[in-house]
Structure 1
């Protein structure tokens, strides 16, 4: 019997890649979002444009031609890079809480057996450089660095409360920064790897790029194929409670720029400017997801080598279009 899934947020970066993975696994998939994927036609069997802030549209999303789905993957969110997170606090809190309250409620009431929720490592506090790895329990006592983190932490608790009440199997992943081809690369919602690749692609050999802060903030970046593999493994597992998914390779923002420049074959100078930086450091344990046999297969340089040419081609296409008569 063919398994069925609804992917909420299927028009977004990770969601659109997840749809492809589920199709490869033999699923019948309905994608749901306010928008279709920006760079590639959806692989979903059916795609519905719905506003999941509306409780009635959440119910509509889950009533498919195949009946109530075996699995729901809730990735729909109003989100973006650090600039957007700091400038759109009200939109993030309002829109995302509505989506998660209504979608979790609809899934539980309709009897969805298995429900995946995409959280974020933004639920954690700021960490000092070199601090020991933080496990999932380190989110409490709660002290997220931004409102996006507070919203994610609250939405985790919503999902777990409904799991206790209705017996729905809930799986929660806390994502680290995700990147790869076909992701947002301009406009303010892009993540750091895409923003850096765009800046390097636009810069001349010997030119410079701007970096917010002093460039010393430490992050880990997870390639989209690894993230999707972690999502799928976790959802099929019996692993309850929040689970970190990330690549245990940490670099400073300046090192990220250097890596992108080397892949581009350019000499690039870095100019540090004021801007939202977020936490100074993050260092998380991946032992729970690794207990399922998952390991990050894409080191940063390999992932950037796959991502930079795609973003450079997008930059070149936009530049050509801007000079066309």
Structure 2
């Protein structure tokens, strides 16, 4: 039975990965300090009484000890939304640097394969569109977003150093905007903010004029791409995201229509260094992993809306 450690496993993405690896027959150790994660995301795994699942509350910037053999390490511990990494800048830098170092050291000691969760934010406010993996990015290292962007860029550099110098088997996924059930309502990203505002009948907050673009991938598609990458022979970074690009203004209007809300839009100044465009080139994922997203945004948003209505104590919409 494969044995897998998932750091940040009680978070939005990490918890879905726990589900997938349990379904794939792995023994899963979920490690999280709960600074942004929540045991509610994994309580169903406790309730099942699954003896292949274990939760360890631990800060991965400290030494990581896991007894016994280990086959895979997925390093997903990190604040990931702007509201989190702007409020937790030092912790974000530490988990990108020290946390990645500790995770790689564990993988080396256990002769395990490590997959690093990187991000499309390594491209910064890109001058190349769509973004390909060979683009080095346009990042402001001393801007407010630099704590996240540079933490992930450093984490990628350290991962490749361990791969080249120590021979550790490593994989790097660059994750583009992802959504789905278990997102925090208050995490500050566009989708949960828009949905909660629309369901409360409040104006939807759009930054700038809303012409900036994003590309949204449903969480099930992302998890499938990550699993394929982990099991592949590809050691170079791979973009995983949905290339279906939409402006933020159009996305807000889409949420209003989906929720049946009579909310309006309100416009606020654009945050410093906010990317103007974001769209993954998924050629490498398609050719190397045989992966393309399968969930249409309309269907994914309906599933996410059902979750948000439940979390907010609202009655489900009749089919």
TM-score bucket of the superposed structures, by smaller chain: 0.7 to 0.9
* Residue number among 275, 280, 284 corresponding to 1:279 in the alignment: 275
Q: What is the TM-score when the length of structure 2 is the normalising length? A: 0.87
TM-score by length of 1: 0.86
Give the match for residue 75 of structure 2: 74
| Gap change, CA 1:49 and 1:107, over 3 Å in 2 | same
Rounded to whole Å, the distance in 1 between the matches of 2:205 and 2:111 is 47
Shift, 1:5, TM fit: 0.7
Report the equivalent of 1:54.
Answer: 62
Indicate the residue corresponding to 1:309 in structure 2: 306
**In 1: Cα distance, 2:106 partner to 2:113 partner:** 13
Cα offset for 1:86? Answer: 4.0
Q: Distance in 2 between matches of 1:193 and 1:142?
A: 24
1:272 aligns to what SS in structure 2? strand
Is 1:159 the equivalent of 2:159?
yes
Name the SS for the 1:46 alignment partner: strand
Aligned pair partner of 1:258 in 253, 257, 269: 253
1:162 is displaced (CA, Å) by: 0.8
CA 1:69/1:190 → structure 2, altered by over 3 Å: closer, same or farther?
farther
Checking the alignment, whether the CA contact within 8 Å between 1:11 and 1:42 is kept in structure 2 is: no
Residue 252 of structure 1: how far off its partner (Å)? 1.0
Which SS does the other structure have where 2:39 is aligned? Answer: coil
Structure 1 residue 40, shift from structure 2 partner: 4.5
| Distance in 2 (alpha carbons) for counterparts of 1:93 and 1:113 | 24
Query: Paired residue for 1:299, among 270, 289, 296?
Result: 296
Question: 1:274: how far off?
Answer: 2.5
Matches of 2:55 and 2:42 in 1, distance apart?
Answer: 13
Partner of 2:206: 211
Residue 98 of structure 2 is aligned to residue 102 of structure 1:
no
Question: Could you tell me whether the CA contact under 8 Å between 2:125 and 2:137 is conserved in 1?
Answer: no
Query: Partners in 2 of 1:30 and 1:102 — Cα distance?
Result: 16
| 3-state SS in 2 of match to 1:159 | helix
Distance in 2, matches of 1:282 and 1:28, equals 36
1:143 deviation in Å?
5.7
Q: Distance in 1 between matches of 2:19 and 2:238?
A: 23
Write the distance in 2 (CA, Å) between the matches of 1:269 and 1:164. 53
Task: Structure 2: give runs of 5+ residues left out of the alignment.
Answer: 46-51, 315-319
Distance 1:224 1:37 in 2: 18
* Aligned ranges 1:1-325 → 2 under 5 Å: 2-35=1-34, 36-41=38-43, 43=45, 45-55=53-63, 58=64, 60=65, 62-63=66-67, 67-80=68-81, 82-108=82-108, 110-127=109-126, 132-139=129-136, 146-147=145-146, 148-186=148-186, 189-203=187-201, 208-276=203-271, 278-291=274-287, 292-316=289-313
What is the alpha-carbon distance in structure 2 between the residues aligned to residue 37 and residue 295 of structure 1?
31
SS of the residue corresponding to residue 105 of structure 2 reads helix
RMSD: 2.1
5+ long unaligned stretches in structure 1: 318-325
Any conservation in 1 of the 2:116–2:171 contact (CA below 8 Å)?
yes
The total of aligned residue pairs comes to: 301
2:317 aligned partner: none
Provide the residue aligned with 1:320 in structure 2.
Answer: none
